[in-house]
Amino acid sequence: MKKAYVFLADGFEETEAVFPADILRRAGISVALVSCTEAKTVIGAHGIALVCDTTLEEVKKSPLPDAVILPGGMPGAVNLAQNDGIRAFVTSMNEEKKIIAAICASPAVAFSAFGMLKGRNYTCYPGMEKEIPEELNGNWKEYSVVVDGNLVTSRGPGTAGEFGFSLVDVMIGDGASCKLRQGMLCE
């Protein structure tokens, strides 16, 4: 069974975490919500508390999953970017050519800081691409979701569903999300 981790730091955008996680689970992918703090409860940008399945410290001891997902939100994206454990985990995933995914602010704030965007096609929350230092920037595209090899990025809360469906297609195979989209009335 394919496995994905959704990393959550205080201030994450709730929709960007829950909607993709839900879609992946509906597709039969094992998804763990992973707290980047010592506590399993993480508070979103809009005050919604989520109880995570596990913590970053616990998953560091396990084999790498097939995908990691970083939701945006402020200050969630900044908290992810400043976490050395997340940086090391995402770097290991990228080196192993496993799927690294981020949405909204996280491509611009976290993935750029981790050096994941240079020379790559990506998207993020509109305007944030202009804040990335030139030496860390890639090729920003104005699409809802951009897939460049193992890098999957998306724009914001309104694209969280499309982001989740794209992750299903990348993880399972093109077209794998079709029945799911129909069943969820997303067509």
**Catalytic option among 52, 104, 178, 186:** 104
How far, CA to CA in Å, does 129 sit from each of 3, 39, 132, 138? 29, 32, 6, 9
Query: Is the Cβ–Cβ distance between 6 and 17 less than 8 Å?
Result: yes
Alpha carbons 165 and 185: distance in angstroms, whole number: 13
Identify whether 36 is a catalytic site residue.
Answer: no
Catalytic sites, residue numbers: 104
